[in-house]
């Protein structure tokens, strides 16, 4: 898959997971990996970028004697998900067009 397209999809996948409630990095990694393979070295820059863009906020909480950083979806993050879902209809039209045109050409 194209790197830029995958990057945008990963952003929305992370936001979608957070739409179910706050989460921490390792948990996000496991959940998102069920859909798209992702490494820690990919996830954490995404989280930083989404936080800088106002799509999520963070807070820290103690867990088993250690401080864990949690990520929480903001209203801007919810809007980003809504925008993605609205745009997906357009993407489906483009996909159908490309598929139809390429099939017609090969006959």
pLDDT tens per residue across span 13-43: 999 999 999 999 999 999 999 998 899 999 9
Domain range for 47 is: 3-105
Which pLDDT score is estimated for 55?
98
**pTM for the full predicted model:** 0.83
Kindly report, residue by residue over 71-102, the tens digit of the pLDDT: 999 999 999 999 999 998 888 999 899 999 99
Compute the residue count for the chain: 107
- Residue 92 and residue 72: Cα distance in Å, rounded? 30
DSSP per-residue letters across 31-83: HHHTTS---HHHHHHHHHHHHHTTSEEEEEEEETTEEEEEEEE-HHHHHHHHH
Q: How many domains are contained in the chain?
A: 1
Which strands sit side by side in the sheet containing 23-24, from one edge to the other? 23-24, 66-73, 56-63
Classify residue 59 as exposed, middle or buried by CB count within 10 Å of its CB (0-12, 13-18, 19+). Answer: exposed
Each residue's pLDDT tens digit, 58-68: 999 999 999 99
Nearest-angstrom CA–CA distance, 88 and 7: 16
Is residue 104 scored above 90 in pLDDT? no
What pLDDT does 41 receive? 94
CATH number of the domain to which 73 belongs: 1.10.10.10
């Amino acid at each position: 898959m194209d790197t830029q397209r995958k990057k945008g999809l990963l952003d929305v996948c992370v936001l979608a997971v957070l739409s179910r409630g706050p989460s921490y990095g390792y948990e996000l990694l496991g959940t998102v990996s069920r859909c798209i393979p992702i490494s820690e070295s990919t996830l954490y820059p995404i989280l930083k970028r989404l936080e800088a863009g106002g799509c999520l906020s963070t807070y820290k909480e103690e867990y088993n004697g250690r401080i864990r950083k949690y990520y929480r979806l903001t209203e801007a993050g919810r809007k980003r998900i809504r925008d993605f879902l609205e745009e997906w209809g357009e993407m489906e039209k483009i996909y159908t067009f490309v598929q139809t045109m390429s099939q017609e050409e090969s006959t």
